[in-house]
Structure 1
């Protein structure tokens, strides 16, 4: 670090590991190659790496039959390379979202419950099930060998704590991100490629399983509107807002529409609140920070409806901040707000999709800071170019370097997607190393002159 730049400007970077299905044999087979890659990252000044800790792998054999052996092998390898780690408690399926390169479903014994009770999965209006993640409607239903979904997640985190004591004591893990939905994000699976969604479709509401439907009917009855049902005019995955009655005819602004959207978004916040409460119990006394990932749904952001955000559960409109209530919930649990799409610029998007990634990041940063929550970030897509790196630098320190101490606006960390052969190509890696130096603030912010 240059003496003229205070240490508080430093933003650590973690690189996401790109691994095949994690088994002890696979980790050992790729040990030499992985060691070499980790050494290259360390030589570039990278602070650590990130990996998903897949529920579908660890508890695959049966209820409470946890097998952590492959992860212990991996963690020891990372520790030997003197790198730190971010780990994700991944209760979702790998496969079906952008960037997924392998298929790792949730445990079969959990999916088997869905054979007789398919409503354990998120369901759209036409009855299609999404098996990426259990519906939040079963959070408190003892359907899984007597356990609720919340108890499944809680027991998993407790087992991680019990089995990873040596690494926790050694402070290998700096962050534990708690998965709260599809792709590990606190949202509904409103836009899934497995369901035929293609960018920039508005997505579909995912609340038509019998559990969420019954919940809505109960709360609607309690406020004197038993005749209200769930929306039937919200459109299909690849619709535009103006082709649906709910959005195009402003049904979302009606009394009934507002009531539904409030319920829909609040259920998501309650879901996060419950699981993060369990996470804090599981990791009480550990020297780690907890985090939660929120999706950067930037398409239709500049449309009055914000339709894609609304179907995902983010009730965000020009006169209603949909991210501040989430930040407020996270603040109660001292959990960091991890946001995506930091690399995106408006000028690179299709104008027809009314994207606003730059304004979205600014809005979220403002909401998070008002609630005094720590903010971190990720890139949404794989990137290797200067322009995208510069946009990240601008977002992690919007006001640039401060020479008088830590900047008032600064993200606490960046997770970079991802480690692979393309990143390590000579030209790409040279640009990446320059990016890491600037992220670490060894010189003032400026475009990458490479």
Structure 2
């Protein structure tokens, strides 16, 4: 990080680089690689816990020993595979082992290891990029959000079942380093049928994450996970970025719009995209016009 800062020191000095995004996991997001397509994962599989390298195994053994239960030094053996559904597993199902004494111990350790990773990296980044705003990307793991276990969030490192708040501990560490949270606005491209089958709730997850981040006093930015072309999806983004009914008038500090791949650029309605940009800048109000 220091070598990067030194190489581009003139750009920092001239103010041409005002923000630096620090990658903390797959796709730059703060999460475990629990949904790897290379491993055969497909939406809406619960994913798999990533705790079997020797370093995490050593950490888990230490934690179990300190807890007085050395036999807990293992990953769950009934959490299914990458493409399992929660009800197909003994760990994530209703009243499953995720809420047992062992399950709560393991999930707390697993989530805390991710938080410690973020804390360590951001401590170094703060030294390397002194007086430069740091951005951290937080994922939107929205499938199985309507189940009790929130299985997909658990494997990605967020201990956020219905009886826990898995995001506040993360945001406390991000607040410590005064970062801007970039929330990946996912789920806008998934059909209602797919969401129903996966018991997904992109809006519910977004509401929880954004409000907790704002309550911590963090700046929030956004980015679309996949390019959005239709008017409904665009207006959902606008409502997320600039909530109309928020009494505190909170909003995103900035938004990154990912452009579509060249093969699908012909499907874009540029008049709607132009309207979307103007809405984001507060230049227009109302519904998107037709093509």
TM range (shorter): over 0.9
What is the alpha-carbon distance in structure 1 between the residues aligned to residue 165 and residue 66 of structure 2?
Answer: 26
User: What pairs with 1:403-422 in structure 2 (closer than 5 Å)?
Assistant: 408-418=249-259, 420-421=261-262
User: How many angstroms does 1:345 deviate by?
Assistant: 7.5
User: How many angstroms does 1:169 deviate by?
Assistant: 2.2
The reply to whether residue 257 of structure 1 matches residue 103 of structure 2 is yes
User: How many angstroms does 1:415 deviate by?
Assistant: 1.0
**Match for residue 217 of structure 2 among 372, 375, 393:** 372
User: How many angstroms does 1:323 deviate by?
Assistant: 1.1
What is the alpha-carbon distance in structure 2 between the residues aligned to residue 434 and residue 290 of structure 1?
Answer: 30
Could you say which structure has the greater relative contact order, defined with CA pairs below 8 angstroms and 6 or more residues apart?
Answer: 1
**Equivalent position SS for 2:243:** coil
* Matched residue, 2:36: 192
* Matched residue, 1:232: 77
User: How many angstroms does 1:319 deviate by?
Assistant: 2.2
Instruction: Deviation per CA, 1:205-264: give whole Å up to 9, x if none.
Output: 010111111110111111110111221111100000011111125100001100000000
Q: How many residues align?
A: 287
Instruction: Deviation per CA, 1:291-322: give whole Å up to 9, x if none.
Output: 11111011101111100000000110222111
Gap regions ≥5 residues in structure 2: none
User: How many angstroms does 1:437 deviate by?
Assistant: 0.9
In 2 relative to 1, CA 448–422 (structure 1 residues): closer, same or farther, beyond 3 Å? Answer: farther
* Contact kept? 1:340, 1:378, Cα under 8 Å: yes
User: How many angstroms does 1:276 deviate by?
Assistant: 0.6
User: How many angstroms does 1:418 deviate by?
Assistant: 2.1
What is the alpha-carbon distance in structure 1 between the residues aligned to residue 100 and residue 261 of structure 2?
Answer: 49
User: What pairs with 1:154-303 in structure 2 (closer than 5 Å)?
Assistant: 157-228=1-72, 229-248=74-93, 250-285=96-131, 288-303=132-147
What is the alpha-carbon distance in structure 1 between the residues aligned to residue 268 and residue 151 of structure 2?
Answer: 40
* Matched residue, 2:164: 320
User: How many angstroms does 1:361 deviate by?
Assistant: 0.4
TM-score, length-scaled by structure 1? 0.61
* Matched residue, 2:276: 435
User: How many angstroms does 1:431 deviate by?
Assistant: 2.0
In 2 relative to 1, CA 276–262 (structure 1 residues): closer, same or farther, beyond 3 Å? Answer: same
* Contact kept? 2:229, 2:269, Cα under 8 Å: yes
In 2 relative to 1, CA 428–170 (structure 1 residues): closer, same or farther, beyond 3 Å? Answer: farther
* Contact kept? 1:346, 1:357, Cα under 8 Å: no
* Contact kept? 1:349, 1:355, Cα under 8 Å: no
In 2 relative to 1, CA 309–401 (structure 1 residues): closer, same or farther, beyond 3 Å? Answer: closer
The reply to whether residue 336 of structure 1 matches residue 177 of structure 2 is no
In 2 relative to 1, CA 427–231 (structure 1 residues): closer, same or farther, beyond 3 Å? Answer: closer
In 2 relative to 1, CA 161–391 (structure 1 residues): closer, same or farther, beyond 3 Å? Answer: same
In 2 relative to 1, CA 369–276 (structure 1 residues): closer, same or farther, beyond 3 Å? Answer: same
- Which one has the largest radius of gyration? 1
In 2 relative to 1, CA 276–282 (structure 1 residues): closer, same or farther, beyond 3 Å? Answer: same
What is the alpha-carbon distance in structure 2 between the residues aligned to residue 203 and residue 214 of structure 1?
Answer: 23
The reply to whether residue 449 of structure 1 matches residue 289 of structure 2 is yes
Report which stretch shifted further, 164-173 or 252-261. Answer: 164-173
* Contact kept? 2:92, 2:151, Cα under 8 Å: yes
Report which stretch shifted further, 265-274 or 373-382. Answer: 373-382
What is the alpha-carbon distance in structure 1 between the residues aligned to residue 231 and residue 106 of structure 2?
Answer: 43
What is the alpha-carbon distance in structure 1 between the residues aligned to residue 266 and residue 13 of structure 2?
Answer: 36
